[in-house]
Amino acid sequence: MRKKVAAILILLSLLFTYELNTHYFLKKIYPRKYYNYVFYYAKEYGMDPYLIFAVIKVESNFRSDAISSKNARGLMQILPETGEWIAKEIGIKNYSNSMLFEPKYNIQMGTWYLTYLLKTFNGNIKLALAAYNGGSGNVDAWLKDKRFSKDGKQLHIVPFPETNKYIKKVLAVYEIYKFIYETKN
């Protein structure tokens, strides 16, 4: 009988401890690595830092040395040609593609670019994420195509399955970040 009571007490204490530390465990899975850079550039460009964390988590899982099969690089997975364009737009001197592996520059450039896409698509996060993943030219074309957009303002169907999955994943991770870090623990 003592063993059963002890087992039940241990189980209850583990459940209680787990409940108290849910945020602790979630913070391990959804960290805020590069916190200073993310918050600095989010503030500079008027962006929600938790959306930036979500993009980084989904794009590279916080690996600054990540390279995709399409040659996108760094934390926010920026293509070299996009990096060159962004560097010119924001005035980064002596830009080289190796800078895409440096967290400071990658976060600065990725945050600026996501802000640019949000402005381009009138604050529509889904369209901005679709453009970030699938290209803004594609999003523009989809919005003009009645098969994908009934009103020219929203995508009712995202024709690239990878982009559709990407949008859903980033938005889900974004909600998790807000839940973990915006609630009082």
Do 59 and 9 share a structural domain? no
Do 175 and 91 share a structural domain? yes
- The reported pLDDT for the residue numbered 3 is 73
- The reported pLDDT for the residue numbered 2 is 73
The total domain count for the chain is 2
Do 70 and 158 share a structural domain? yes
Do 105 and 14 share a structural domain? no
**Predicted confidence (pLDDT) per residue in 36-75, tens digit:** 999 999 999 999 999 999 999 999 999 999 999 999 999 9
- The reported pLDDT for the residue numbered 69 is 94
- The reported pLDDT for the residue numbered 91 is 96
Do 81 and 4 share a structural domain? no
Do 112 and 53 share a structural domain? yes
Do 108 and 41 share a structural domain? yes
Do 45 and 24 share a structural domain? no
| Residues with pLDDT less than 70, the chain | 4-7, 9, 11-22, 183-185
- The reported pLDDT for the residue numbered 23 is 74
Q: For position 127, which CATH number holds?
A: 1.10.530.10
List residues with catalytic annotation: 59
For 25, the domain range is: 1-30
Do 127 and 40 share a structural domain? yes
Q: Report how far apart, in Å, the C-alpha atoms of 98 and of each of 69, 72, 78, 144 are.
A: 17, 12, 11, 37
Do 13 and 94 share a structural domain? no
- The reported pLDDT for the residue numbered 185 is 45
Residue 134 · residue 128 · CB < 8 Å: no
Do 21 and 7 share a structural domain? yes
Q: Which of 82, 81, 57, 79 is nearest to 69 (CA)?
A: 79
Do 42 and 24 share a structural domain? no
